[in-house]
Structure 1
């Protein structure tokens, strides 16, 4: 069942990513190169790529030995944290900001709604929750922190920010820092909930 779910979830994730890329290229007015850079500037896309890579690895690996980097205990939990933040931020902050129709709507729901649920389900079924350490949470913050620094530096030179809550031009740097701190708190909160819940589930 684990391999079947891995294959299914990998297909769904890669379909959503590739379809979103094609849709974005088709709607582009800035050219292939700039559109491609903007595509990979979205935390949603980068995180869904991470999810797709994880499930692709799970689908083809012959065993789940922890010596393989992607199979180390805790990697699934960190990936789950990232994709849950993607889903929650979209549902709470961005859903009313952007309106989609047709295939755009389907792909958007896959990236922001269905895939986070699928990853959480996989985490519940297969992560070795009891041995995940609390101190790992700090390490998990590196990815979103590097991402934030990247989009702020790129935004400074290009005046393009992928999300409205980090748009320095509209909000000012102080407000963007406040917004970023709140999202970092969300990362820490979800991480803590998953680690704590995981230990309780495995204990019961």
Structure 2
């Protein structure tokens, strides 16, 4: 059953990410090279790419006892936290200011709604929740912290910020850092919630 879920998630994630890249290149306002860099500056794209890679790996190479970090308890939970944040931020902050149509609408729903929900279901069904610890949360924050540093440094040089709430040019650095701290608090809160729910589910099974 897990292999079928993994195949499904890998498939829709690759289709969504690659289609989004095609659409962005087709509608680019900069060179292909700059557009590609901007494409990979979106947390949504990076995280959905991680989803595609993780579940592709599971389909192709998973073996019991495999020492890879991808096979360790907590990896799927971390991925679920990341993609949950993608969905929440889009639904709460970005959907009201973005009205895609046509294929772009379909791709947006895949990236921000369908895939997050599917990953959450996969986490519920297959993560070894009893072995996931609150002590892992600091490790899970490394990815979003590196991402934040990257987009702020690159934005300072290029003037391009992938999301309005991190646009230093419009908001100022102080406001962006406050927004960033709020997002990091959200990461910690969602991480703790998944661990708490996971432990509760394990006790009741």
What residue in structure 2 maps to residue 91 of structure 1? Answer: 91
Q: State the alpha-carbon separation in 1 of the partners of residues 172 and 149 from structure 2.
A: 15
Match of 2:38 in 1: 38
Cα distance in 1 for partners of 2:189, 2:44 equals 19
Deviations 1:13-51 (A, max 9, x none): 000000000000000121100000000000000000000
Instruction: Provide the residue aligned with 1:127 in structure 2.
Output: 127
Question: Aligned equivalents of 1:197 and 1:106: distance in 2?
Answer: 31
CA drift of 1:152 comes to 0.2
Correspondence 1:166 to 2:146:
no
Partner of 2:134, secondary structure, is coil
Indicate how the Cα distance of structure 1 residues 66 and 74 shifts in structure 2: closer, same or farther if over 3 A, else same: farther
CA pair 62-44 structure 1, distance change in 2 beyond 3 A:
closer
CA distance in 2, matches of 1:159, 1:65: 46
The structural deviation recorded for 1:185 is 0.7
Are the aligned partners of 1:66 and 1:73 in contact in 2 as well (CA < 8 Å)? Answer: no
CA RMSD of aligned residues (A): 0.8
C-alpha displacement at 1:59, in angstroms?
A: 1.1
Gaps of 5+ in 2: none
Give the number of equivalent residue pairs: 204
Answer yes or no: is 1:48 the counterpart of 2:48: yes
Contact 1:80 1:120 in 2 (8 A): yes
Quick one: distance in 2 between partners of 1:131 and 1:198? 10
TM-score, length of structure 2 as denominator length: 0.98
SS at match of 1:73: coil
TM normalised by structure 1 equals: 0.98
What is the aligned partner in structure 2 of residue 175 from structure 1? 175
The answer for the alignment partner of 1:146 in structure 2 is 146
Q: Deviation of residue 69 (structure 1)?
A: 2.1
* Aligned-pair CA distance for 1:62: 4.4
The answer (yes or no) to whether the contact 1:76–1:127 under 8 Å persists in 2 is yes
